[in-house]
């Protein structure tokens, strides 16, 4: 998937669009999903311009999984969640709607109806 510099997550990273940040480091940004599948739905994105998992550098991939784990621990503890979903979609055929690589982190409770 070609990288579109004007996708919404690129605009968030440039400060051109708002977000509710959770944490940030040199390589990644974690923020609240604007249309959450459940309370506490966090997105983790690499700062590098990667459309999908396949486009990430090894360093970006390592930083992304480190931050995704950090976000999963944060939502588990903040929501006392018995489970936490972590997932991501690569390509429109897989269901990806925003063409900047991202990781969904969603607290899960026994009655949840997951999208995937
Ligand atoms: P995808 O379907 O590409 O895996 O997920 C994209 C996610 O980005 C969706 O969960 C959607 O709610 C979220 N999203 C789309 N636009 C925005 C936005 O402008 N701000 C935030 N915080 N999340 C967004």
Tokens 């709607």: give the residue.
Answer: 97
**What pLDDT does 20 receive?**
98
Question: Is 116 among the domain residues?
Answer: no
Pocket test for ligand 1, best of 94, 98, 102, 103 (most atoms within 8 A of CB): 98
Residue 49 and residue 100 in contact, taking contact as beta carbons nearer than 8 Å: yes
1 within some domain: no
Domain count across the chain: 1
Going by the DSSP 8-state scheme, the letter that residue 22 receives in this structure is E
Q: pTM, whole model, 2 decimals?
A: 0.95
Contact criterion met (CB below 8 Å) for 47 and 28: yes
CATH number for the domain harbouring residue 94? 3.30.428.10
Contact between 45 and 28 under an 8 Å Cβ cutoff? The reply is yes
Q: What is the pLDDT of residue 1?
A: 60
Residue-level pLDDT at 110: 87
Residue 57 included in any domain: yes
Distance from residue 43's CA to the centre of ligand 1 (Å): 8
Query: What pLDDT is recorded for position 114?
Result: 64
Protein residue with least CA distance to atom 18, ligand 1: 34
Domain presence at residue 27: yes
Residue 33: domain span: 8-108
Q: Examine residue 26 and state whether it is found in any structural domain, yes or no.
A: yes
Note down pLDDT in tens along the chain; length 116 residues.
679 999 999 999 999 999 999 999 999 999 999 999 999 999 999 999 999 999 999 999 999 999 999 999 999 999 999 999 999 999 999 999 999 999 999 999 987 666 65
């Amino acid at each position: 998937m070609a990288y579109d510099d004007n996708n919404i997550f690129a605009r968030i990273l440039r400060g051109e669009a708002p977000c509710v940040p959770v944490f940030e480091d040199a390589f990644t940004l974690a923020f609240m999903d604007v249309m959450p599948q459940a309370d506490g739905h966090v997105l983790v994105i690499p700062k590098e311009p990667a459309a999908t998992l396949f486009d990430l550098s090894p360093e970006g991939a390592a930083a992304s999984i480190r931050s995704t784990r950090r976000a999963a621990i944060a939502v588990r503890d903040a929501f006392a969640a018995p489970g936490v979903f972590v997932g991501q979609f690569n390509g429109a055929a897989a269901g990806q709607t925003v063409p900047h690589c991202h990781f969904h982190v969603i607290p899960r409770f026994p009655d949840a109806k997951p999208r995937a």
